[in-house]
Structure 1
Amino acid sequence: MKFRASNKLPLFPHHRMALHHLQNQRRFLTSFFAKKVHQAAQARASFNGGGRADSNGGSYLVPGATVATILMLGALHARRLYEDKKVEEARERGVEFEFQPDVKASFLRFLPLRTISRFWGHLTSVEVPVWLRPYLCRAWARAFHSNLEEVALPLEEYASLQEFFVRSLKEGSRPIDPDPKCLISPVDGIVLRFGELKSTGAMIEQVKGFSYSVASLLGANSILPMMAERTHKEDDLIDNPPIEQGKKSWWRVSLASPRVRDPVPGCPVKGLFYCVIYLKPGDYHRIHSPADWKILGRRHFSGRLFPLNERATRTIRNLYVENERVVLEGLWQQGFMGMAAIGATNIGSIELYIEPELRTNCPKKKLLQSEPPEERFYEPEGVEITVKRGDEVAAFNMGSTVVLVFQAPTSESSAKDESSGFSFCVKKGERVRVGSALGRWHETNSEV
């Protein structure tokens, strides 16, 4: 016997009703979630001012640039951990790396580092969805040890990593040393080198075994106070330092970077000091005024963009002199004051608050490194730029290096007298913050 199912009457009526009810629930959930996504997109558009969301009000998709940025952060973090571990182990053993150029550093000249840096700048300026911003900022802070408790704004308000790089801090996060007879640190960073310029040519030690001249760093038209007095024999010693015969090689001679001649032949005047401070990627990136001073001019060198890490400083000649940099020069109560903000790979963009129209890391127009820099003198234009201690002057769009060159009082006595003259109160390798004292001086009473 065969049974036939009727087309009009269901064999299992309760099953057909359940299926119909399930389809109604599915339609309701689909429309509900579609409405929620649409409302979330409209909320993001209103939060961003209406100009950053999709023009149709649709959902904000995560761009591929954001994924690439996250991958870049992971690579940078792994590399930083490896290099920091090697440096710390060497310092614990009391080992100081000496200058020793290699082939790998020389081939950096053939890489389009300026183009790479501009690409990184565009990548970090890509707007990130609001919901992803806190995670990205926290990932960066965790990778590079940034202190999020000091951040002035909520993390959701930093639309890109670039905005987070140049973030401002909460009021009172960087107190200024109240002592009027001290020079404060203009940045957060690590003190690499400091001291008084005494040798012929006013040489700053880049790393043990190699130095560069202050005049080459600041430029030929610098108002750096020098005494024009130097012999040909001393010239040869500076440009051709003695090297052990066993350490010479064909690679070092053929691939060495070109020498940068000292444009101001002379000896430094008495009381000329310097301090080199390195900023890590996770540091606070704004540059403040180290003292009350009057800025007379600006000089922009559109040079190379070599990295400024530990390996680069001991393998690349004239690293600070060849890299792109912005130099500010002027006068303070003790005489000359110069501050050089030096760019590096991925950090060619330097913002100057006192001259917002200045653009750095542009497509290179100069073919030769010997061409003069772009200069602007504020004093002849009738624009008097006076800044006070702690005022914001400039900013890096990541981390880099600042070199201070300044005059300060010195002791008049032949013997070392700590009660008079300028003396540094920091140590090599010490971390400093904006507003903390780099050095102090005590004026002697000349009336006695």
Structure 2
Amino acid sequence: MTLRATLARIAAQEDLNFLLTNRIPRRLATRFIGWFSRIENPLVRDASIAIWRLFSDLDLSEARTTRFRSMHDCFIRELKEGARPIDPDPGLLTSPCDAIVGASGPIEGTRVFQVKGFPYGLADLVPDAATVAQVRDGTYVTLRLTSSMYHRFHAPHDCRVESVTHIAGDTWNVNPIALKRVEALFCRNERAVIRTRLAAGGHPLVLVPVAAILVASLRLRFLGTDLDLRAQRPRTLPCDARLAKGEEMGWFQHGSTIIVLAPPGFRLCEGVAEGTRIRMGEPLLRLPDTPA
């Protein structure tokens, strides 16, 4: 058995994985990695990326460049032109990111699931009654980014960003093991609520990027600033940014999760199911009143 296979097997053991990622000082580890990943010393950079490769399926063949200043620079890498074609069908909402599809399906009133048997309320995830009312009885999709994936996310349709709210919280790991053990995990973690309105039909659409261990910063390109999700007080930033389908919205420092919340009438596209991989720009949801 190769070294990589051995390490992967160890990492896959649920109890050990949960212990290593969630029983350590999460905030301290997150702050340390935030600092360490930005070190631009070539020896530190090269060793860090080499170790990262041992524990993951990191593939840099699609990266715009393979010369990085730091591990962080590698995390937030851009891709070559055309590496992620955007489905042009105006009746389709495309995935905002590369991801593994998690729990998804109809929103039961205001209840959704992080995994089967683990429900949580939208009011706990999105503390704004008007926003919850917009997506009540709609459709949701959970998109999990792993550490080796492309970490930038993009507009799923032509839209206008109306506001962004940042909510302080914890930094639990968001992998499947933790989702089976920590109740309402997404509602505990630090997150942002991005409220958008689609150009097509004026439909509201909500994206909720959720931070995780080693991830406590989010960059939204249309705001032009680094937003530190470790801030203690929630704050809402009004916005009037118009984005084209596929246009970059921002990026995480590391892997994490984006929850997509759509109002009634939206339907999951064929092939979108828990455990499947999806790439940014591929069909995710079908808009109301469009043929399958």
Q: Shorter-chain TM-score category?
A: 0.7 to 0.9
Superposed, which structure 2 residues align to 1:324-343 within 5 Å? 324-332=190-198, 333-334=200-201, 335-343=203-211
What is the RMSD of the two structures over their aligned residues, measured on CA atoms? 2.9
**Residue 202 of structure 2 is aligned to residue 274 of structure 1:** no
How far 1:78 sits from its partner (Å)?
A: 6.6
Decide whether the 8 Å contact of 2:159 with 2:242 is kept in 1.
Answer: yes
Give the whole-Å Cα distance in 1 for the aligned partners of 2:169 and 2:7: 25
Give the whole-Å Cα distance in 1 for the aligned partners of 2:276 and 2:290: 29
SS in 1 for 2:31: helix
Aligned to 1:256: none
Give the whole-Å Cα distance in 2 for the aligned partners of 1:222 and 1:358: 27
Amino acid at match of 1:194: S
Amino acid at match of 1:178: P
How far 1:177 sits from its partner (Å)?
A: 0.9
Aligned to 2:91: 181
Superposed, which structure 2 residues align to 1:318-397 within 5 Å? 318-332=184-198, 333-334=200-201, 335-362=203-230, 365=232, 373-378=234-239, 384-397=240-253
**Residue 243 of structure 2 is aligned to residue 398 of structure 1:** no
Aligned to 1:261: none
How far 1:85 sits from its partner (Å)?
A: 6.8
Give the whole-Å Cα distance in 2 for the aligned partners of 1:299 and 1:208: 28
Decide whether the 8 Å contact of 1:118 with 1:361 is kept in 2.
Answer: no
Decide whether the 8 Å contact of 2:14 with 2:177 is kept in 1.
Answer: no
**Residue 70 of structure 2 is aligned to residue 160 of structure 1:** yes
**Which has the bigger relative contact order, CA under 8 A and spacing at least 6?**
2
Change (3 A) 1:122 1:442: closer
TM-score (normalizing by structure 1): 0.58
Change (3 A) 1:84 1:437: farther
Any runs of at least 4 consecutive aligned residues in structure 1 with deviations exceeding 6 A, and if so which?
Answer: none
Change (3 A) 1:142 1:407: same
Highest Rg: 1 or 2? 1
Aligned to 2:173: 307
**Residue 143 of structure 2 is aligned to residue 215 of structure 1:** no
Aligned to 2:111: 203
Give the whole-Å Cα distance in 2 for the aligned partners of 1:431 and 1:221: 32
Question: Relative to structure 2, which stretch is displaced further, 182-191 or 140-149?
Answer: 140-149
Q: Which has the higher strand share?
A: 2
Give the whole-Å Cα distance in 2 for the aligned partners of 1:312 and 1:212: 15
Decide whether the 8 Å contact of 1:302 with 1:360 is kept in 2.
Answer: no
Work out the number of aligned pairs and report it.
Answer: 283
Give the whole-Å Cα distance in 2 for the aligned partners of 1:356 and 1:80: 38
Change (3 A) 1:432 1:118: same
Aligned to 2:30: 117
Amino acid at match of 1:188: D
Give the whole-Å Cα distance in 2 for the aligned partners of 1:409 and 1:365: 36
Gaps of 5+ in 1: 1-73, 88-101, 227-266, 367-372, 379-383, 411-421
How far 1:138 sits from its partner (Å)?
A: 5.0
Give the whole-Å Cα distance in 1 for the aligned partners of 2:14 and 2:89: 38
Give the whole-Å Cα distance in 1 for the aligned partners of 2:89 and 2:160: 20
Superposed, which structure 2 residues align to 1:405-416 within 5 Å? 405-407=261-263, 409=265
Decide whether the 8 Å contact of 2:91 with 2:290 is kept in 1.
Answer: no
How far 1:189 sits from its partner (Å)?
A: 1.1
Superposed, which structure 2 residues align to 1:2-401 within 5 Å? 80-84=8-12, 108=23, 112-129=25-42, 133=45, 136-137=48-49, 139-155=51-67, 158-197=68-107, 199-200=108-109, 202-220=110-128, 222-225=130-133, 268-269=136-137, 272-332=138-198, 333-334=200-201, 335-362=203-230, 365=232, 373-378=234-239, 384-401=240-257
Decide whether the 8 Å contact of 1:305 with 1:324 is kept in 2.
Answer: yes
Change (3 A) 1:331 1:169: same
Deviations 1:31-58 (A, max 9, x none): xxxxxxxxxxxxxxxxxxxxxxxxxxxx
How far 1:142 sits from its partner (Å)?
A: 4.9
How far 1:169 sits from its partner (Å)?
A: 0.4
Change (3 A) 1:139 1:152: farther
Give the whole-Å Cα distance in 2 for the aligned partners of 1:354 and 1:398: 20
Amino acid at match of 1:179: D
Identity %: 27
Amino acid at match of 2:162: L
Decide whether the 8 Å contact of 1:225 with 1:336 is kept in 2.
Answer: no
Aligned to 1:21: none
SS in 2 for 1:409: coil
Q: Which has the higher helix share?
A: 1
SS in 1 for 2:212: coil
Gaps of 5+ in 2: none
